[in-house]
Amino acid sequence: MSLKQRIVDDMKSAMKARDSRRLSAIRLLLAAIKQREVDERTELDDAAVTAVVERAVKQRRDAAAQFADAGRDELAAAEKFEIEVLGAYLPEQLDDAAIEAAIATAVADTGSSGPADMGRLMAALKPVLAGRADMARVSSLARKALASRC
């Protein structure tokens, strides 16, 4: 079963269960997927659907942080609930140790030696870690690794 079909099936089960909060989050995700399909005039595969889910989760994390900073805890809690719902469609996230191991391997493979090589290192890491790690976190760990090699 494709990821998109799994999302559609979850929407149907949320409808049957009358879970309006979950249904709303899933409908927003399906709308984003459909919009990208219309824009690109193609059917999205699982990798492209995962990219849409990642983007939606990132948007909600940013919104939750802004709501929390503004003291709007009820809105921040709603965004965090949507993050939980959408996070179920992402592959299992890697921990820092696994990310650091991938960074060490990429540093050795690319011959990166300092902060000037950050772009080359991230280009090597993105295909390996995309979808399995927050790329902002990967970037910060890679920056630290490169700074220690100076």
**What domain range includes position 120?**
96-148
Confidence band, pLDDT 50/70/90 cuts, at residue 118: very high
Shared-domain flag, residues 13 and 76: yes
Question: Total structural domains in the chain?
Answer: 2
> What pLDDT, in 10s, does the model give residues 16-74?
999 999 999 999 999 999 999 999 999 999 989 999 999 999 999 999 999 999 999 99
Shared-domain flag, residues 105 and 72: no
Q: Are 44 and 37 in contact (CB under 8 A)?
A: yes
The pLDDT value given to residue 150: 65
Shared-domain flag, residues 81 and 19: yes
Shared-domain flag, residues 23 and 79: yes
Shared-domain flag, residues 58 and 76: yes
Shared-domain flag, residues 17 and 80: yes
Shared-domain flag, residues 80 and 121: no
112: domain CATH number is 1.10.10.410
Shared-domain flag, residues 61 and 108: no
From the CB of residue 100, how many other CB atoms can be counted at a distance below 10 Å?
Answer: 16
Last residue of a domain, one of 48, 69, 87: 87
Shared-domain flag, residues 109 and 77: no
Dihedral over alpha carbons 19, 22, 28, 34 (to 10 degrees): -80
Query: What H or E segment, with its residue span, contains residue 35?
Result: helix 20-40
Shared-domain flag, residues 107 and 59: no
Query: pTM of whole model > 0.85?
Result: no
25: domain CATH number is 1.10.1510.10
Shared-domain flag, residues 83 and 100: no
> What pLDDT, in 10s, does the model give residues 81-112?
999 999 999 988 899 999 999 999 999 998 88
C-alpha 39/C-alpha 17 separation (Å) is: 32
Shared-domain flag, residues 26 and 75: yes
